Amino acid sequence: MSPAATLDPARLDSALARGLRPIYVILGEEPLQALEAADAIRASARAAGFADRTVLDLSAAADWSAFEAAIRDRSLFAERGLIDLRLPSGKPGKVGAEHLKRYAERPAPDLVLLLQLPRPDKDLRRAVWFKSLERAAVVVHARPVSPAHLGGWIRERLARVGMTIRDDALALLAARVEGNLLAARQEVEKLTLAGVTEVDLEILQQGLADVARFDLFELPSTALSGQTARALRMLRGMLAEGQPEPLILWALSRDIRALAQAAQRRAAGESPANAVKGFWGTDVGALRKALERIDAPAALVLLARAAQVDRVIKGREAGNAGRQLLDLVAALSGRPLEGMENAFA
């Protein structure tokens, strides 16, 4: 049996409507698409009577007997359920690979297996265990939405809640979120709460100008301008309120990239005024302040730190994502976090 083609998340609902399959694999290249695909599969499983859910977070070094126990317990008590298996590294190890390969060959009739994986690479695609699952499963590849299709994606999301949007407003909103779907969803939710039915440029600009208690887009400019204590309080507030870590990192990374480019322009001899031009959404005044203390090599170090936080968030590297976001904000604001905890409590 040859591997089936991967399914686009947009086609998942119609596939689920045709009936539930025993195994689903989500390739989580884009966080929001992966999250919503998993939610749709879980909802469909509940509706079909697979009410009990077992969540397992495993790795190559984990004890995979928990996976076998989840399968065995369901069979013993004849309960239909869902095993929600997360493998953030995409590497199950030798023992885990054998478990997954064996299950793919003989899936349990009273179970739905939902396996969530990271962005697929060559090693993952070539693995024997993955090929076995690929032949037996519905594989959903949660890819990023390309810039060319982002406007249509936003328009469709607004249509779901009964809103339309004019073309100029749509262009502004697409530019504001810069392809980050979590940010796009946040803006759609803001507009939904505002109770409007048609979004024009004026309504959108008013909405984008509204500043929440811990506004996501204020955090980077606060850090760039050197307000370490305030930036860290804002970040802690957002983390405590459940703001998604990938969305926070995206907002910070956007302005760190702007800082790196501006610092390179300064190193090439451009004036401070010219160096900070052309960065959509970045606070120009805060960027100029950051250039007074951060040169091009230091900005590249910040970019590398942001990339490391991204790997931690995606489970590709060990670490505490919240703590590393705090470290990143402290470094961006120009002051080390070590020894300053009491000042920011």
The CATH number of the domain where 237 resides is what? 1.20.272.10
Identify the domain containing residue 20 by its residue range: 9-141
Kindly report the CATH number assigned to the domain that includes residue 187.
Answer: 1.10.8.60
Distance separating alpha carbons of residues 31 and 19, to the nearest angstrom: 25
Is 4 contained in some domain? no
Answer for the pair 53, 26: CB distance below 8 angstroms, yes or no.
no
The per-residue pLDDT string of the chain (345 residues; one tens digit each, 9 = 90 and over) reads 344 568 999 899 999 999 999 999 999 988 889 989 999 999 999 999 998 899 998 989 899 999 999 988 775 665 789 999 999 889 999 999 999 999 999 999 899 999 999 888 889 999 999 999 999 999 999 998 888 888 999 999 999 889 999 999 998 888 777 677 877 887 888 888 778 889 998 887 766 544 333 467 789 999 999 999 889 988 988 888 777 888 889 889 989 999 999 999 989 888 888 888 877 667 889 999 999 999 999 999 999 999 999 999 988 888 999 999 999 999 999 876 543 343 333
Domain shared by 252 and 205, yes or no:
no
Domain shared by 90 and 114, yes or no:
yes
Cα within 13 Å of Cα(102), Cβ side: 10
Distance separating alpha carbons of residues 94 and 97, to the nearest angstrom: 5
Distance separating alpha carbons of residues 58 and 56, to the nearest angstrom: 6
For the chain, how many structural domains are there in total? 3
Beta bridge partners, 23, equal 113
The DSSP output letter for 146 is P
Q: Which two tokens stand for residue 67?
A: 């996976």
Q: Give the containing element (helix H, strand E) for 328.
A: helix 321-333
Kindly report the CATH number assigned to the domain that includes residue 15.
Answer: 3.40.50.300
DSSP code string of 22-48: SEEEEEESSHHHHHHHHHHHHHHHHHT
